[in-house]
Structure 1
C-alpha cells in the first residue's frame, strides 16, 4: 500500500465570497480556494497518476476547455462522434469539480454508484471515477503544481504539461493575472480585488 503523504500547506481564512461560502488562501501557491478544498487536499496530493495519463494544469480562463477538447480528440480519433452527444466533462476528469462547489452532476453520481456501489460521494465523485477508469485518462485541474502530487511530472505525460506551464508562467504568471483582474474586472465585487475569488471559476 502506498504511504499517504501529508500536503505541506498552510491556510488563511479569507472570509465569505458569494455562493462559495468561506474561502481560504492556500500557501504555497498563493491560491484562493473554497473551504471544501481542505477535505480533498491530501487525496489530490496523493492521487495515483499513471504513465499514460495526460494532465492539463492551467490558470483559469486560459483556454483550458478548448485545449482539453483538442487533446481528447487527438487521443480518441476513432471515437470523435462521441463529442457530438457527450459533454466534455464526461470524457475528461476535471478534478477541481469535487471542491469548487457542492457537486451536482447527477450523471457522474449515477456512474460512480454503478461502478462502485459502496463509494461515498463526499470522498470526491470525479476523483473516484478517475481512479476507477481503466483506459487512458485526461486529467485537468487549475491547482498549481505545489498542490499536486509531487510525482506527477515523473509519472505521466509530464514533459508536455511542464512545457505548457513554464510557458504560461513566463507570459501570464500569477502577479500578472491578479493585476489583470484588478484592471479589467474592477467593477466586479470587491472580493475579486481582494483575491477572494476561488481559482477555477
Structure 2
C-alpha cells in the first residue's frame, strides 16, 4: 500500500521510480526508496513510516531536552553544549558517559530511518547496535533501536531530531523543553551540498545551482 495515515494526522505517499529519477538517483541511497509526508511535501526515507507513530507516542519527561533542526544547521555543536551542561557540568574527564560517541549518548530519535542508507548503516550501526543489545535485551531491532535506547536512558535526556516539529507529539512543547536551531538557508544549502559530495551517504556529483533548485522544490532529505 502506497499511502498511510500517521498519528500526527499527516499522510504518506511512496515515491515512484520515475519521481525518484527526477530528484536525481545520485542523491538517493535508501534501499526502501523515498516517501513524501503530505500535505507539506516533506521528503524522507520510506522506512521512516515504520517509526513515526512510535516516536509520536514516545513518553516524554519534563526535564527532556529535544533539539530540532534541519540537517547541517549546527546541530552537533548544540548537542554537545547542552549535553555537557546537563550531564557533565563540571567537565569531569573521568565521566564514564564521555567515553561514548556523541550520537550514542545524545541520541538522534529520527536516526532509525537513516539505517536504511547503505553507507550510514555501515558507519554508525555498530555502536548503536552494541548499546541496543546491552540496554534493550529481548527487544526487536525493527521497532527502532535508537528510539528504544532513548526510552531506556536516565534523565535528563538530551536528544535531537531531524523530523519536522509537527510530526512529533502534539503536546511536545508542553511536555518537555525544545531547542530549535536555525541557520541561514543559503549556508545550509552550501554545507549540505558539500556534505553529500564528500561523504559516502550519497553520490551527489551535480552543481551547487542544481542542488539549490532541488532543495527549494522540497527535494532534500
Q: Which among 110, 113, 122 is matched to residue 142 of structure 2?
A: 122
Q: Any gaps of 5 or more consecutive residues in structure 2? A: 1-5, 194-206
Cα gap change, 1:172 to 1:48, in 2 (>3 Å): farther
Instruction: Normalising by structure 1, report the TM-score.
Output: 0.76
1:39 is aligned to 50
Q: CA deviation at 1:113?
A: 1.6
The aligned runs of 1:142-157 (5 Å cut-off) are 142-157=162-177
Q: What's the C-alpha RMSD, in Å, of the aligned pairs?
A: 3.3
Q: Are 1:7 and 2:19 counterparts? A: no
The 3-state SS of whatever aligns with 1:57 is: strand
Instruction: Normalising by structure 2, report the TM-score.
Output: 0.70
Deviations 1:2-32, CA, capped at 9 Å, x for gaps: xxx8231112333434212411121244321
The 3-state SS of whatever aligns with 1:154 is: helix
1:196 is aligned to 219
1:77 is aligned to 89
The aligned runs of 1:98-177 (5 Å cut-off) are 98-102=112-116, 103-104=121-122, 105-158=125-178, 161=179, 164=180, 168=182
User: d(CA) in 1 for partners of 2:100 and 2:131?
Assistant: 14
Q: Any gaps of 5 or more consecutive residues in structure 1? A: none
Cα gap change, 1:90 to 1:80, in 2 (>3 Å): farther
User: d(CA) in 1 for partners of 2:154 and 2:52?
Assistant: 24
The aligned runs of 1:11-30 (5 Å cut-off) are 11-15=12-16, 16=20, 17=25, 18-21=28-31, 22-30=33-41
1:89 is aligned to 103
User: d(CA) in 2 for partners of 1:177 and 1:106?
Assistant: 29
Q: Are 1:185 and 2:205 counterparts? A: no
